[in-house]
Amino acid sequence: MTHIFTTLRHPLEKLLEAEHFLARMTRADGIVFQFELNAFLSACRSVTFLLQSSFSDVPGFSEWYKQRRAEMSADKAMGFFLKLRNLSQKAGPVSYVGAALLGGGWTYRFTHGAERVPEVLRGKDIGSCCAEQLRKVAGVVADCAGTFPFESCPVEAFTVEGMAHLGYTIEDAERAIGLPAGYSDVSGFGPDVKLHYLKRELEPLDRTTLMRMTAGEFRCGAEQLVFPEPQGSDLVDDMAALVDPKGPDGNDTRTIFIRAVAARIERQNLDGA
């Protein structure tokens, strides 16, 4: 039976796609921010879908992923992001509020909507929350690469060690890169030499990029992404605390804005009294 080689290339590409939309979020305002957020949520969620699809037949993967899934489910922030993706794709827009920054740009906060915002994400810029989510998902992919090195990268698979671990033949390797079986059947050359030349046709897994994302370093081209540092006492935080479908004002943002401003004026008057 012909061996089927696997790779983490497609999950990594989906991580890069999510990073792309994360970068666009930092430059977006108005409804465009909503578009970029929805695209980020979809791309980020698709990473683990692709991971499972790519590795479904890899021995030991199901057991490994079961443990990773349990860890992700126990993480309240990751669980919230999963629900947000389903909400944005099937039910309607994600609930949030935003405000302009004094130095230019915008900052946004998640608010209670169809899903309650976990405590760990309250008062934090949405872009920063998304970056942390992407870092965690990249960590799952990196862990997979470390646990299944020969299955994750064809270049590593095309070694004597990879051949022994995966149990394929030189003919399998030849077919995998589009060459006829027996193409490298040259007298006097062992499997190590043949694989050395065959793997020149392969693209290695970009582990540098994967490790960068796992470290929480995200870029737009060569520029590193920077997210607003919440003070916890900005007007947008006051508004986010008031937005609640179960509250007296529900999602009436105009009324909530007025109440938030009035409360700040009242506090200032009390402080100055």
- Which SS3 state, helix, strand or coil, does residue 107 take? strand
Percent of the chain whose pLDDT exceeds 70: 94
pLDDT for residue 250: 62
144 has pLDDT over 80 = yes
pLDDT tens digits along 77-131? 999 999 998 888 877 788 898 888 877 888 999 998 878 899 999 989 999 999 9
| pTM for this entry | 0.90
User: Which helix (H) or strand (E) covers residue 174, if one does?
Assistant: helix 170-176
pLDDT tens digits along 46-74? 999 999 999 999 999 999 999 999 999 99
40 contacts 96 by C-beta, under 8 angstroms:
no
* Pairing label, strands 106-110, 96-100: antiparallel
224 contacts 215 by C-beta, under 8 angstroms:
no
pLDDT for residue 16: 98
Q: Which residue has the tokens 């004094």?
A: 102
The domain ranges of the chain are 9-151+207-228, 154-204
Tell me the backbone φ, ψ of residue 123, rounded to 5 degrees: 80, 10
pLDDT band at 139 (very low <50, low <70, confident <90, very high): very high
189 contacts 20 by C-beta, under 8 angstroms:
no
- Cα angle vertex 207, ends 126, 221, to 5°? 50
Q: Which tokens go with 216? A: 């929480």
CA distances to 22, 86, 174 from 199, in Å: 34, 40, 10
Residue 262 CB neighbours (<10 A):
10
Q: Which tokens go with 75? A: 């993480």
* CA–CA distance, 165 with 149 (Å, rounded to integer): 10
Average pLDDT, the chain: 90
* CA–CA distance, 83 with 22 (Å, rounded to integer): 18
* CA–CA distance, 215 with 222 (Å, rounded to integer): 16
* CA–CA distance, 117 with 131 (Å, rounded to integer): 17
